[in-house]
Amino acid sequence: MISLAELQRRIDAGDLSADAAIAQSLEATSAHEKSIGAFVCRDESLRAQSAGPLRGIAVGIKDIMDTAEFPTEMGSPIYRGFRSRGDAAVVMMLKQAGASIVGKTTTTAFASIDPTPTLNPHNHGHTPGGSSSGSAAAVAAGMIPLALGTQTGGSVIRPASFCGVAAIKPSYRLLPTVGVKCYSWTLDTVGLFAAGVDDVARGLSAMTGRPELLLPPDIPTPRIGVVTQDFAGAPDASGGEALRIATRAVEKAGASARALDLPEIFAEAWRAQPIVQEFEAHRALAWEYREHYAQMAPLLRAKLDESRNTPPVAYDEAIKTANRARQALEELFDEVDMLLTLSAPGAAPRGLGSTGDARYNRLWTLMGVPCVNVPAHIADGDLPVGVQIIARYGADAAALAAARFVEDALRRQ
């Protein structure tokens, strides 16, 4: 993979020009794109900007985000050839930090669950996950050092886990969703994929102009709560193994890691998440669903068919449950600095029939808390499996530092 941090160091030191860094990404992309299929469209004559912390960094943008220079097709024939007038807010944040937009990455239709043709770079017989399929795969294949995705259920953390890359789903609204196709306004969150935790932190810090998001020189030892999310069912063997490996590693590195039983309100919130998600999707995608029903992707359409009669009162109750759980989670974080849990049930499923299961992600998206994926284990078939580090709402710097602690502990094993 291409490390953003390493590129920054070489560019800053004058060992590499920003244009050469971009050229390197273009070359790597050309080399791998044919076998992976991570992009919808690309700028093959991309140039670097001359200034900014992300100069020389080629970034892939999930194709539900508006871009003035590329079509935005939402992974759906309904938006074939659609041109937005401007750039999404997060695209402008990248440009203003000096980055270059290399192209649009594949997305499941409207960031839902119908798979794209993108292959998992670690094993072409498996899905890269979704819905941010192309962004995760492009970083994993070493094409580009940074990519943007979005998560409504588990669309950033899950593909990152399947593809063996670091990723952050920041606190809700740390990154604006302006110009990003909405599925659920309470849940949709823009996230970043990169080679490692430091790379992700540098990307997020540069985009937001928040230096406090950079990793500190000395990473503190976090108090860790290990959470198995039993309400979501049991994981696969490989998912359980990844969590055990990470737990052993952080204990060996000197952290206390105690098993936490989440109170019942979290199981309720976990059950409430799909109600919020689909109720809002019926409003956000009303035009597509009503006017282009025949062209809707089949799995998404079936999900919308199923949830079409959810009454407002059920939605209101789900929102209230979420608010109670957020309160309870605040209190939980008085006892621990981070939660360590599964990023996905296990390694990427075989084939391209499914993008995997968001059941270990959806609670945390509803909570709005920062979540980071760190690769922890390689399962049969050379398939990566990650673990998820979660911190308090708004504590994105703490989440990144804790994730770095876990990443370090796993490396030193």
By the criterion CB under 8 A, which residues form the site for a copy of itself?
A: 68, 78-79, 82, 85-87, 89, 91-93, 95-96, 173, 176-179, 182, 185-186, 208-210, 280, 283-284, 286-288, 290-291, 311-312
On the question of a cis peptide bond just before residue 25, with omega within 30 degrees of 0, the verdict is no
The residue ranges of DSSP E strands in 125-196, in sequence order, are: 146-151, 166-169, 189-194
CB of 136 to a copy of itself, least distance (A): 25
- If the CB atoms of residues 188 and 407 are measured against a copy of itself, the closer one turns out to be 188
CB under 8 Å, gap of 24 or more: what pairs does 274-277 form?
274/307, 274/362, 275/307, 275/310, 275/314, 275/315, 275/318, 276/184, 276/186, 276/187, 276/315, 276/318, 276/319, 276/322, 276/366, 277/152, 277/153, 277/183, 277/184, 277/187, 277/362
d(CA 186, CA 284): 11
What does DSSP assign to residue 78?
G
**Catalytic residue among 132, 155, 171, 238, which?**
155
Cα(246)–Cα(252) distance, rounded to whole angstroms?
A: 10
Q: Interhelix angle for 197-208 vs 89-96, to 10°?
A: 100
Tokens of 330: 């605040």
- Shortest Cβ 302–a copy of itself spacing (Å): 20
The 3-state DSSP composition of the chain as helix, strand, coil percent (nearest 5) reads 40, 15, 40
| Element at 208 (helix H, strand E) | helix 197-208
CB of 179 to a copy of itself, least distance (A): 8
Residues for the chain: how many in total?
Answer: 413
Q: Write down the least CB distance from residue 17 to a copy of itself, Å.
A: 24
Strand ranges inside 20-116, DSSP E:
39-42, 58-62, 100-105
CB nearer to a copy of itself: give 20 or 89. 89
Alpha carbon distance, N-terminus to C-terminus of the chain: 21
Of residues 179 and 386, the one with the C-beta less far from a copy of itself: 179
Pick 18 or 88: Cβ nearer a copy of itself: 88
Say whether 62 is catalytic: yes
Angle at 206 between CA 33 and CA 44, to 5 degrees: 25
Q: Which is nearer to a copy of itself, 64 or 340 (CB)?
A: 64
Q: How far is the CB of 148 from a copy of itself (least distance, A)?
A: 15
| Residue 176: CB minimum distance to a copy of itself, A | 5
Residue 131: active-site member: yes
Q: Which entry of 76, 131, 132, 161 is annotated as an active-site residue?
A: 131
Which one, 31 or 286, has the nearer CB to a copy of itself?
Answer: 286
If phi > 0 it is left, if psi is from -120 to 50 it is alpha, else beta; for residue 281 that is alpha
Give the whole-angstrom CA distance, residue 311 versus residue 185. Answer: 18
CA 17 to CA 9: how far, in whole Å?
Answer: 11
Q: Which of 62, 95, 181, 303 is catalytic?
A: 62
- Shortest Cβ distance from residue 82 to a copy of itself (Å)? 5
Q: For a copy of itself, give the closer residue by CB, 207 or 338.
A: 207
We find the least distance from the C-beta atom of residue 401 to a copy of itself, in angstroms, to be: 18
34 in catalytic set: no
* C-beta of residue 121 within 8 angstroms of C-beta of residue 141: yes
Task: With beta carbons less than 8 A apart as the criterion, state whether 277 and 184 touch.
Answer: yes
- 92 vs 299, beta carbon nearer a copy of itself: 92
Active site positions, annotated: 62, 131, 155
